[in-house]
């Protein structure tokens, strides 16, 4: 059974097909309005989410299917002590496909090992967030026209930001991609990303602290919020939270065609004064998130033999 637990679960070719399908959905949404009629998506969210859960639900509704689930661990049987594997086994009897978000790293993988239906990892702790990565890739490919030969700045909380970890994993498979990792010392990428992913694969990268120094060379600037919920104490969070604020003055240093992405939610790291700049594409990115999730649901249900 094909699941989506890590951004590497699809080959580059398969990923290309998925992004092509997402673009076709964008261009011809009417073709897909009955594609998943009679099918059900379960959304099991043990951690807060607005965009990811609602974009999954919107995706399934756009395909003519229906949705069920919970958006809070407190309202699920987890409070009675049920394990994730038992929950997913049971949900396999109710739904055709499941998206799961959980605060523990590896939870989606455990769920997929016991599941009779395709499982989509909608975020596991500080580890991975593959559907955000599909969204990011679709946004970059659609608006830049390519995924190779890019200098990509990742800025903010690179330690706890799972969207950053997943995006790095996915992008190293394309030719001539260079990274500029912009973070305070305390929030640098974890060693397993630096050593096992970047160094191991001979990927060109630089680590920098000042956004102003990094910005002129970038084709893409991927901003992230400081992940408050993963800090051990409030004091450290308060010290870090406004470390980066992208504003009109800093944006003057950027290339005319640099794209600014952000997985959202934004806190203070992007000033609202630049929201109308044509380079600010984070709200478009949220729209691409729906197309790519539609493509993903279709692809996984087809592979599972649930669609004709």
- Which residue ranges make up the site for ligand NCD (CB under 6 A)? 51-52, 123, 129, 132, 162-163, 224-225, 263-265
Q: Looking at beta carbons only, is 32 or 160 nearer to ligand NCD?
A: 160
Q: Looking at beta carbons only, is 3 or 129 nearer to ligand NCD?
A: 129
Q: Is 53 among the residues known to form the active site?
A: no
83 CB neighbour count, 10 Å cutoff:
14
Q: List the structure tokens of 266.
A: 């934004």
Residues 122, 128, 129: CA angle, nearest 5 degrees: 40
Query: What whole-number distance in Å separates Cα of residue 191 and Cα of residue 308?
Result: 45
Q: Looking at beta carbons only, is 39 or 263 nearer to ligand NCD?
A: 263
Catalytic residue among 43, 52, 131, 151: 52
Q: Looking at beta carbons only, is 52 or 92 nearer to ligand NCD?
A: 52
Q: Is 3 among the residues known to form the active site?
A: no
287 CB neighbour count, 10 Å cutoff:
14
| Least spacing, CB of residue 132 vs ligand NCD, in Å | 5
Q: Is 125 left (phi over 0), alpha (psi -120 to 50) or beta?
A: left
Q: Looking at beta carbons only, is 50 or 247 nearer to ligand NCD?
A: 50
Q: How far is CA 207 from CA 58, 180, 198, in A?
A: 38, 6, 12
| Least spacing, CB of residue 57 vs ligand NCD, in Å | 14
Query: What whole-number distance in Å separates Cα of residue 260 and Cα of residue 277?
Result: 10
Query: What whole-number distance in Å separates Cα of residue 131 and Cα of residue 195?
Result: 24
| Least spacing, CB of residue 224 vs ligand NCD, in Å | 6
Query: What whole-number distance in Å separates Cα of residue 33 and Cα of residue 163?
Result: 30
Question: What would the DSSP string read from start to end of 58-97?
Answer: HHHHHTT-EEEEES-GGGSGGGGT--HHHHHHHHTTT-SE
| Least spacing, CB of residue 267 vs ligand NCD, in Å | 9
CB distance 64 to 36 below 8 Å? yes
Residues facing residue 102 across a β-bridge: 124
| Least spacing, CB of residue 96 vs ligand NCD, in Å | 23
Q: Is 80 among the residues known to form the active site?
A: yes
Q: What dihedral angle (degrees, nearest 10) is formed by the CA atoms of 9, 13, 15, 20? A: -160
Q: Is 129 among the residues known to form the active site?
A: yes
Placement of tokens 């990268």 in the chain: 205
Catalytic residue among 102, 129, 141, 165: 129
Catalytic residue among 3, 39, 40, 101: 101
Q: Looking at beta carbons only, is 52 or 87 nearer to ligand NCD?
A: 52
| Least spacing, CB of residue 60 vs ligand NCD, in Å | 17
Q: Is 51 among the residues known to form the active site?
A: yes
189 CB neighbour count, 10 Å cutoff:
22
Catalytic residues: 51-52, 80, 101, 129
């Amino acid at each position: 059974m094909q699941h989506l637990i890590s951004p590497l679960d699809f080959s580059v070719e398969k990923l290309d097909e998925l992004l092509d399908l997402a673009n076709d959905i964008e261009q011809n949404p009417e073709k897909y309005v009955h594609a998943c009629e009679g099918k059900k998506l379960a959304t099991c969210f043990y951690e807060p989410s607005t965009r990811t859960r609602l974009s999954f639900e919107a995706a399934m509704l756009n395909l003519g299917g229906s949705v069920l689930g919970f958006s809070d661990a407190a309202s699920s049987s987890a409070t009675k002590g049920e394990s994730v594997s038992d929950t997913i086994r049971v949900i396999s009897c109710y739904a055709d496909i499941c998206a799961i978000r959980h605060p523990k790293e590896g939870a989606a993988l455990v769920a997929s090992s016991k599941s009779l239906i395709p499982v989509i990892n909608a975020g596991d702790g500080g580890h991975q967030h593959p559907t955000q990565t599909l969204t990011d890739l679709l946004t970059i490919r659609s608006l830049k026209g390519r995924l190779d030969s890019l200098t990509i700045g990742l800025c903010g909380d690179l330690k706890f930001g799972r969207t950053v970890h997943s995006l790095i994993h996915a992008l190293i498979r394309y030719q001539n991609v260079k990274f500029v990792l912009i973070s305070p010392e305390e929030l640098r990428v974890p060693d397993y990303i630096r050593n096992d992913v970047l160094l191991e694969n001979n990927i060109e990268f630089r680590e920098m602290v000042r956004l102003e120094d990094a910005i002129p060379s970038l084709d893409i600037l991927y901003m992230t919020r400081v992940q408050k919920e993963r800090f051990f104490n409030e004091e450290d969070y308060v010290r870090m939270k406004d470390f980066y604020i992208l504003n009109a003055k800093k944006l003057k240093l950027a290339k005319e065609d640099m794209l600014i992405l952000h997985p959202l939610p934004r806190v203070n790291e992007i000033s609202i004064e630049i929201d109308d700049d044509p380079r600010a594409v984070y709200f478009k990115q949220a729209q691409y998130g729906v197309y790519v999730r539609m493509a993903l649901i279709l692809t996984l249900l087809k592979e599972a033999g649930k669609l004709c």
